[in-house]
Structure 1
Amino acid sequence: MKSKVQLISQIKKEQKKTHMHIPLIVLLILTLILSVLSVTDLEWEDKISVNRGFSLFFYGLVFFTVLYHVLNNLLLRTASGQKFMKTYKLSIADVYDISNKQVSAVQAIFCCITGITCCTYSCTRDIMRTSHFISEAYAWFGAAYFLYDIWSMYKVHNAKTIQASMNGDVKKGGVKFLSYLKTHAVIVGHHIFIGAFGFLVITYLRGGLGDCFFGFVYLMEASTPFVSLRGILSKIGLKSSNLYVINGLVMLGTFFICRVAMFPCVIYLYARTVDLDYISAIRSLPNGCKISILTLLLPQIYWFLLMVKGASQVLKGKVTNAKKKNLKNTH
C-alpha cells in the first residue's frame, strides 16, 4: 500500500511540473555557452588554472544534471512524449533509464570532439610536448559527469525498485541514496576511480606530455553512442529490428577500432616518433605507463569478445527466423 501511495505521489509531482522543460532548456543552453566563453580568451597551448577548472567542473555538473531533467521532461510532460511512452509501454523507470543513456551518448560526443581537436592539433606538431587547452578544459568539465552519473544511476535504480514494489516483486518501496551507495559500491567506486584518476592524469600527472595520445584516449568514447542506442532500442522492444542489428554491427566495428586497435596504433606512432622499433618502444615506456595501458586494454578485449558473441547470436537468430519464414512461404 505504501509503495502505491509513493508511485501516485510521484506521478502527481511529475504532472505539476508540466512546462518545466522550457526553463530547463534555457538553463542548459546558457550553461554550455558559459562553458565555452570561459575558455575563449586562452591561447591554444595555455594551461587551465584551478579557478577556471572549478568553474568548468561546476558548469559540467549543472549541464549533465539539467540535460537529464530536460530529457525526462520531454517524455513525461509533453503530449508527444506521453504518446511515445504509451506506444512502447514505457514506465517512469524506463524513461529515467533512457534519459541516462542519452546523456551518456552526449558526454561521449563531447569526448570525441575533444579527442579530434587534440589529435588534429597536437599530433601534427611535437606529439610528445605539444598540448591543446581543450584536453585539460574537458577533463575538468567531464569529471563532473561521473558524479552526475552516480546520482542518475541511483534515480534509475530507485524508480525500478518502486515499480517492482508496485508489482509485488519486492516488499519495500524506494531506496535511500546512502543505501544505494553501499549496495552498489563496485560501480560507484569504478565511477569515482575513473573520473578522479583520468582527471588527475590528464591535468597534472602527465606533466604536460603526450597530449596527442590522450586525444586517442578521449576517442575511445566513440562507440558509446551506439552502445546507448542499443540499450534504448532494446528498451522500446526493437531488439529484433534491422536497425538494432545494423547499430550493433556499427557499435562492434567502432568499439574494435577505437578501444582495441587504437592501442597498438598509438604505440606504433610513439615508436616512429622516438625512432625505435616496436618492441624497443614498448620497453622504453615507464612502468606506470605500461600498467595503465594494460589496465585499459584488457577490459576492452574482454568486452569486445562478449560483443562478438552477442552479435553472432543475434545474426544467427536472424538467419534462423528468415529460414523459418521461407519454409512457411513455400508451404
Structure 2
Amino acid sequence: MWRVLVSGAVLFPGLFLAFRKALPAVFKRWTEADVVLVSERLVSSIHAIMATTAGIVVVSSCRGNVITDRHWLATTFVIWYGVPYMSYDIFAMYLSHYYRFWVKGHEDYKGHSLRTVNSFVRKEFLLVLHHIALLTILLPITLFFRKEQGDYFIGCLFLTELSTPFVSLGKILIQLGMQDCWLHKVNGGMVLLSFFLCRIVLFPYMYWVYGAHYGIPVYSVPFHIPLSANLGNLCILAPQVYWFVLLCRKGYRLYKRQCSTKGQDSPLSSTEPLSKAE
C-alpha cells in the first residue's frame, strides 16, 4: 500500500518538475510565472483525466445497486492519487502565486517566507479551504464512515473533475496568445457547461438516485442520510456554486464587451483563482 501511495506522491510533483524543465525550452519568452502556471494546469488536467476515468469505471460498475455494489477504485484511487494530488496542488498553487507576484517586482516576494505564505493563504483562501476540506472530509468518509457502502456516489464525486481540463485549456490558450480564436470561445462554453453539470447538477442528481433506490422523494433524502454526509456535500457544493456564479458573471461581461468592441481580453482569461475551481 505504501509503495502505491508513494507512486502517487512522486507522479504529480515529478510531472510538474518535468513540465517546468521542458516548457522554457519550447517557449523561450515565457516568464517563470508563465511556466509555473502552465505546468500546474497541465498536471491538474492529467489528474482530472485520471479521476474522471476512475469515476466512469466506478459508476458504470455499480449501477445495479447504488448502495451495496463495490469497486476497488472507489477507495484506492483516493488513497493512491487523490490524497497525494491534493497535497501537491496546494504547494503548486503557492508557487504559482509566488512567481506571479515575483515577476511583478513586489518587494515582499524576494524570497519564500511566512509573509508570502500568509499572503497566498489570504488571497487563495477559498481554494485552500476547498482542498483541505477534501482531505479532512471526503477522505475520512471514504475510508472509515461509509461502512463499505456507496461506491457509486464516490464515483460520482470523481466526475466533478471533468471540467478541470477545459479550465486548464483556457489558461494555456491565453498563455499562447490565442484568447481571441474560436477554440478559446468554444472552450469557454464547455467550461460553463461541464462545470454546471458536473459540479452543480451532480449533487441533486445523487440525492435523486438515492431516493429512487429507496422509493422516497428527493426532498426527503437529506433526512434519511447521516448528517455528516449532508455536511460533506454542502462543504463541497457551496464553493462550486460561488465559483459558477463568478464564471457566469465573467461570461456575461465577455459577451457585452465583444458586442461593444473587439480585441479586448476575455474576462474568462483572468488569472484569478476562482477560474481554477478544483
5 Å matches for 1:311-322? 311-321=251-261
**Closer, same or farther: CA 193–293 of 1 in aligned 2, 3 Å:** closer
Answer yes or no: is the 8 Å Cα contact 1:105–1:224 preserved in 2.
yes
1:27-46 deviation per Cα after TM superposition (whole angstroms, max 9, x unaligned): xxxxxxxxxxxxxxxxxxxx
Which of 240, 246, 260 is the matching residue for 2:200?
260
1:59 aligned onto 2:13: no
Answer yes or no: is the 8 Å Cα contact 1:102–1:228 preserved in 2.
yes
* Deviation (angstroms), 1:188: 4.3
5 Å matches for 1:292-303? 292-303=232-243
| Equivalent position of 2:111 in the other structure | 174
SS at match of 1:237: coil
Answer yes or no: is the 8 Å Cα contact 2:133–2:235 preserved in 1.
no
* Deviation (angstroms), 1:315: 2.2
Give the aligned residue type for 1:130: D
Answer yes or no: is the 8 Å Cα contact 1:143–1:196 preserved in 2.
no
* Deviation (angstroms), 1:174: 1.8
SS at match of 2:53: helix
* Deviation (angstroms), 1:231: 2.0
1:277 aligned onto 2:225: no
1:290-322 deviation per Cα after TM superposition (whole angstroms, max 9, x unaligned): 222222222222221211111122122223336
Aligned residues: 257
CA–CA separation in structure 2 for the residues paired with 1:159 and 1:281: 46
CA–CA separation in structure 1 for the residues paired with 2:49 and 2:238: 24
5 Å matches for 1:119-158? 119-123=59-63, 125-140=64-79, 141-158=81-98
Give the aligned residue type for 1:211: D
CA–CA separation in structure 2 for the residues paired with 1:255 and 1:105: 14
CA–CA separation in structure 1 for the residues paired with 2:108 and 2:71: 54
5 Å matches for 1:87-126? 90-123=30-63, 125-126=64-65
Give the aligned residue type for 2:186: I
SS at match of 1:164: coil
Answer yes or no: is the 8 Å Cα contact 1:255–1:304 preserved in 2.
yes
Which of 223, 236, 244 is the matching residue for 2:176?
236
5 Å matches for 1:218-229? 218-229=158-169
Give the aligned residue type for 1:75: L
1:222-245 deviation per Cα after TM superposition (whole angstroms, max 9, x unaligned): 001111112222333333332221
Give the aligned residue type for 2:120: H
* Deviation (angstroms), 1:179: 4.6
Aligned identity (percent) is 27
CA–CA separation in structure 2 for the residues paired with 1:111 and 1:290: 22
CA–CA separation in structure 2 for the residues paired with 1:171 and 1:66: 28
Give the aligned residue type for 1:134: L
SS at match of 2:211: helix
If asked which structure has higher relative contact order (CA below 8 Å, sep 6+), I would say: 2
Answer yes or no: is the 8 Å Cα contact 1:136–1:203 preserved in 2.
yes
**Closer, same or farther: CA 284–321 of 1 in aligned 2, 3 Å:** same
| Equivalent position of 1:248 in the other structure | 188
| Equivalent position of 1:5 in the other structure | none
1:74 aligned onto 2:22: yes
* Deviation (angstroms), 1:173: 1.5
Give the aligned residue type for 2:247: M
Output the TM-score relative to the length of structure 1. Answer: 0.72
**Closer, same or farther: CA 190–253 of 1 in aligned 2, 3 Å:** closer
**Closer, same or farther: CA 162–261 of 1 in aligned 2, 3 Å:** closer
Output the TM-score relative to the length of structure 2. Answer: 0.84
Unaligned runs of 5+ in 1: 1-51, 323-331
CA–CA separation in structure 2 for the residues paired with 1:263 and 1:287: 15
